[in-house]
Chains A and B, each alone.
Chain A
């Protein structure tokens, strides 16, 4: 390789100035045109409108069973917990990452669910069935005892099949798992003893 001589040609600075100016003006124009293109990536008006509240009938859920309804395209679980499952919630605190639902309370846990069972009525647990790690839907692991992918002293709860995060029967995440937070409790309220409304609460 031979060294290329440096070009000593004089720069016409007035031309250079105009080239820089017009290039900058062109770049601003191109950036402005890019805005509508990028904006098309946002959710459409139709997608935004599809967020109405959902009514759920609780009468047909037996103790220890779970019902799943769709709200804003997400699965929402209504779990009717048995007395044993509720009793198992106490004494887990040491193994949980956020037993008292203190993290991101405005996003994850409405004020009326900021208790040990994370629910209005202890019997019915309502949560968005989407793992706070990467959005998979955890599976039911209500059976107590040792089983695949779970600790031997398992007391019932949920297991995310994607990355192995585990949650107790109140959707509280166990420590040292990929999921950082407890499952989201959506805004909800009781219309009567057997009718639940998901997506709205009294505060709203």
Chain B
């Protein structure tokens, strides 16, 4: 135990109380480590508000969620009615429900922006690999949370969306059908499924999510924030031992973040009050029809934030499998012909290519669609080890890298757009090309990221006081 700190008996009551607490709980130390004396780079820009905003949206979701649970009934016979009851009969229930449903889309908007920021400024690079990995795990939790929450209103889209995603697991060879049965708890999506999704949505996943958020922030504050220049500010410290390019988080960035929160709330409340369904993108029209297990709506699509991955799922047809097999062989042959590897290792690679090809031919394209969709998220975890560029930030990379990233973003948006459209032959082709680009971006990153001439990185950040 640390020694008791003694404070003058003449000190103000507040100071004496704080001293009393500090002797029993590291309150001042926690405050200083994470806010008061946490040195963040001075040159953080607009893109750096989205981390704080995602905490804000998390708080909105938890608070509104607590109040929704007070009126919602997790029962296949009552669920749809209880949501309508919240919307019509519970005083101000509509507001709380719209805050929660709009909050779900807002969460993905801020998180996608937050991830994009990390991508272009190399925030996942050493020593921030764990910050990135915790973040990817948060993203996965968020997807699970959104998916299970979407079943709860028990509308047509809730029902058939869940039916499709649970059936994805049935595509796994051998254990698939039993796995899907274990997830549903019934032979079709039903009351048992609704109840367990409710349990996961309101308690299990949020607990994991909160733990991961804490881990994400602790890891970040251990290594310090990256910045748009990708310069390590800890490398240049002043006489007081603090980074010269850093500034205490509070009040400089708390004020920035409060301003961003105000802007966010203006947009957020405008959507809640004037366009809570957001043209069918935030709340789909078919979800205002109660779930009917006998009739699939004519057009079903997931909510917008899942559609890029959904497009990749739809892109995997038998024809696409031939292209993927060609990619496997292309990769294997390049490794064998060009790689500086031992002969034994080359034989292993060729053997693996034969095995993978056999698996790809013997299992349905449907299963590989699921693998591609899952892989599109899982591949993010490996980003810190895929990027071989000599510099972190896009600012000092070869100019053409900017186009690679720009095409990646446009490609992601196009995939998202195609995912909300009904299936079509031309859409299928475009999403197949888009899928190849998405995976090529990551899998070929070890090569393309090291190509070209980087620009000299300054030793200090670019910052001009106003």
Contacts and interface: CB of A to CB of B under 8 A. Distances in A.
22 contacts: A38-B182, A41-B182, A41-B185, A41-B196, A43-B186, A43-B187, A47-B192, A68-B295, A72-B188, A74-B187, A74-B188, A74-B293, A134-B164, A134-B167, A134-B168, A136-B160, A163-B313, A163-B314, A176-B318, A178-B314, A178-B366, A178-B369
A177 B428 CA distance: 11
A145 B46 CA distance: 54
The A contact surface, by secondary structure, is loop
Interface string A73-89: 11100000000000000
B163 interface: yes
Interface stretch (B47-55, B254-262, B297-305, B331-339): B297-305
A138 B168 contact: no
Interface in A16-61: 38, 41-44, 47, 51
A135 B366 contact: no
Contacts of B364: 180
Contacts of A47: 185-187, 190, 192
Contacts of B185: 41-44, 47
Contact of A137 (B171, B186, B187, B294): B294
A11 interface: no
Contacts of A162: 160, 164, 296, 300
The 7 closest A-B pairs by CB, nearest first: A164-B423, A137-B296, A135-B167, A180-B364, A75-B294, A73-B188, A134-B167
A139 interface: yes
B387 to A, nearest CB: 22
A149 B365 contact: no
Given A73-B190, A74-B188, A135-B164, A176 B298 contact: no
A149 B422 contact: yes
Contacts of A163: 313-314, 423
Contacts of B300: 136, 161-162
Given A72-B187, A73-B187, A136 B296 contact: yes
Contacts of B297: 161
Interface residues of A, number: 34
A157 B450 CA distance: 53
B424 interface: yes
Given A42-B185, A44-B185, A149-B424, 12 more contacts: A43-B186, A68-B295, A70-B293, A133-B167, A133-B366, A136-B164, A139-B296, A139-B298, A149-B423, A162-B300, A164-B314, A178-B314
Contacts of A75: 293-295
Interface string B207-227: 000000000000000000000
Interface string B275-310: 000000000000000000111111110000000000
Nearest to A166: B423
Interface in B396-423: 422-423
A42 B296 CA distance: 25
Interface in B131-167: 160, 163-167
Contacts of B296: 136-139, 160-162
A98 B293 CA distance: 27
A148 B190 CA distance: 32
A69 B167 CA distance: 22
A175 B168 CA distance: 20
B163 A136 contact: yes
Interface of B: 160, 163-168, 170-171, 181-188, 190, 192, 196, 293-300, 313-314, 316-319, 364-366, 369, 422-424, 428
A112 B144 CA distance: 43
B156 to A, nearest CB: 11
Nearest to B180: A135
B164 A176 contact: no
B164 to A, nearest CB: 4
B183 A41 contact: yes
Contacts of B423: 149, 163-164
B163 A134 contact: yes
Contacts of B319: 176
A74 B184 CA distance: 14
Contacts of B186: 43, 47, 73
Contacts of A38: 182
A143 to B, nearest CB: 14
Interface in A115-169: 129, 133-139, 148-149, 160-164
A175 B317 CA distance: 10
A177 to B, nearest CB: 7
Contacts of A68: 294-295
Contacts of B317: 176-178
A98 to B, nearest CB: 12
B199 to A, nearest CB: 11
Contacts of A160: 296
Contacts of A164: 314, 422-424, 428
Contacts of A175: 318
Contact of A161 (B190, B298, B318): B298
